[in-house]
Amino acid sequence: MEKNMRHMMNPLDFSVEELEALFDVANDIEKNSAAYSHKCDGKILATCFYEPSTRTRLSFETAMLRLGGQTLGFADAGSSSAAKGESVADTIRVISCFADICAMRHPKEGAPMVAASKSLIPVINAGDGGHQHPTQTLTDLLTIRSLHGKLSDFTIGLCGDLKFGRTVHSLINALTRYSGIHFIFISPNELRVPDYITEMLDSKGITYEEVIKLEDVMPRLDFLYMTRVQKERFFNEEDYIRLKDFYILDKEKMAHAKEKMYILHPLPRVNEISVEIDNDPRAAYFRQVQYGLYVRMALILTLLNMTDAHMNEGLLREF
Ligand code: CP
């Protein structure tokens, strides 16, 4: 185990300055990707996914492949020895014998943290239950910084399932460290943002509003963060069916938005954004996926302590 080994469990694990450095590396990768293509030669990333995923798992695997490394792992718990009763603690000790870094998604909140406490290699939380999804948050922050030029002074509307959406909870937490951000929470009463979040915002003196109608606030938004209703976290089907199509963003609603209001979505999308919006220049959700790749490449390099040489090379190249 390396003396200074770090994990990524929560976006707040990194200071604002460390995140700036991470995003600088990500933006450098965006511009100079060829310069990074052998940075992780000989390194192996393990992806241990106990819950379904398309973007996060494939984004991590692509990130390591584009850095010149290799990947191994499993995409569902049923094909791992978890099906025979193996604990996460034992699994990570085993993975530590095979790989240099591990990205783990688990339906149980805190499972990646348990893994990190027993691991001999850096562990990245790739989503744990309804708790945290730090690399989605890093993706969201990098996207906002790249589109807006800074991580301060904007109004963001978060719309949809604000109760179960871990990406929303994670993003709100991360944004509280920046100045001049006003939150507008748009949800049906049943899917309101949890009280612990509004209490945290109150305690920090951060301004927010809670509304039900998206149309009412549309003209004031700089970013609109849409989310799907999380079917897998509902206790009964009836409630899910009643709420799943509560918000559908379409051309009519977009007509009331600012010319420079960007639409974000962690994806997967179900019905909450009409496909007729996809070609609107303000639809930034597929660009967001691309930023997710750059930020995961930067995170792998950072946790493997391999960033400096490349950034220096990047700076030298500019001279
Ligand atoms: N945004 C996100 O976490 O997508 P996946 O569930 O497909 O990984």
Helix, strand or coil for residue 93? helix
Q: Where are the domains of the chain?
A: 11-132+292-303, 135-288
Strands 208-211 and 181-186: parallel
Q: Is the CB of 266 under 6 A from ligand 1?
A: yes
Q: Which residue has the tokens 């511009």?
A: 31
Reduced DSSP (H G I as helix, E B as strand, rest coil) percent helix, strand, coil of the chain, to 5: 50, 15, 35
Substitution candidate for ligand 1 out of 166, 231, 267 with most atoms within 8 A of CB: 267
Using CA atoms, how far residue 66 sits from 35, 171, 310, in Å, is: 10, 27, 14
CA distance 145 to 140: 9
Query: Ligand 1 pocket check: which of 76, 106, 128, 136 to mutate, most ligand atoms within 8 Å of Cβ?
Result: 136
Task: List the residue whose alpha carbon is closest to atom 6 of ligand 1.
Answer: 53
Tens of pLDDT, residues 106-133: 999 999 999 999 999 999 999 998 788 9
Instruction: State the Cα–Cα distance between residues 76 and 94, nearest whole angstrom.
Output: 17
Residue to probe by mutation, ligand 1, list 54, 61, 128, 231, most atoms within 8 Å of CB: 54
Task: Provide the whole-model pTM.
Answer: 0.92
Q: Which pLDDT tens digit goes with each residue over 258-312?
A: 999 999 999 999 999 999 999 999 999 999 999 999 999 999 999 999 886 444 4
Tokens of 239: 């409630």
Which superfamily does CATH assign the domain made up of 11-132+292-303 to? Aspartate/ornithine carbamoyltransferase (3.40.50.1370)
| Gap between the Cα atoms of 258 and 174, Å rounded | 25
Is the CB of 267 inside a 6 Å radius of any atom of ligand 1? yes
What is the reported pLDDT for 318? Answer: 38
Q: What percent of the chain has pLDDT over 70?
A: 94
- In terms of Cα–Cα distance, which of 146, 153, 164, 215 is closest to 186? 215
Query: What torsion, rounded to 10 degrees, do the Cα atoms 89, 94, 99, 102 define?
Result: -20
Looking at ligand 1, which atom is closest to the CA of residue 105? 8
Q: What is the DSSP string of 137-180?
A: HHHHHHHHHHHHSSSSSEEEEEES-TTT-HHHHHHHHHHTTSSS
125 lines ligand 1 (CB under 6 A): no
Q: In sequence order, what are the residues at sequence separation of 6 or more whose Cβ sits closer than 8 angstroms to the Cβ of residue 63?
A: 45, 293, 296, 297, 299, 300
Atom of ligand 1 nearest to the CA of 52: 6
| 8 Å CB contact between 193 and 210 | yes
Specify the residue with its C-alpha closest to ligand 1, atom 5: 53
Distance of CA 39 to the CA centre of its chain: 23
Instruction: Report which residue type is found at 283.
Output: A
Q: How many CB atoms lie within 10 A of CB 31?
A: 9
| pLDDT at residue 316 tops 50 | no
What is the distance between the alpha carbons of residues 296 and 276, in angstroms, rounded to a whole number?
Answer: 30
Q: What distance in angstroms lies between residue 188's CA and the mean position of ligand 1's atoms?
A: 23
Does position 317 have pLDDT exceeding 50, yes or no?
no
Q: Identify whether the C-beta of residue 171 lies closer than 8 Å to the C-beta of residue 137.
A: yes
136 lines ligand 1 (CB under 6 A): yes
Q: Which residues contact 207 (CB under 8 A, 6 or more apart)?
A: 182, 183, 201
Identify the pLDDT of residue 238.
80
Residue having the nearest C-alpha atom to atom 4 of ligand 1 = 55
Q: How many A from CA of 113 to the centre of ligand 1?
A: 19
Average pLDDT of the residues of the chain = 92
Are 11-132+292-303 and 135-288 equal in CATH topology? yes
| Ligand 1 centroid to residue 268 C-alpha, Å | 6
Calculate the CA dihedral of residues 201, 285, 66, 52 and round it to 10 degrees: 80
Ligand 1 atom at shortest distance from the alpha carbon of 58 = 8
The whole-number pLDDT of residue 60 equals 98
Task: Give the fold, CATH level 3, of 135-288.
Answer: Rossmann fold (3.40.50)
* Amino acid at residue number 272: E
Ligand 1 mean position, distance from CA 289 (Å): 10
Neighbour count for residue 260 (Cβ, 10 Å): 11
pLDDT tens-place string over residues 153-210? 999 999 999 988 889 999 999 999 999 999 999 999 989 999 999 999 999 999 999 9
Instruction: Say yes or no: CB of residue 232 within 6 Å of ligand 1.
Output: no
**Distant-in-sequence, close-in-space partners of 145: CB < 8 Å, separation ≥ 6:** 23, 151
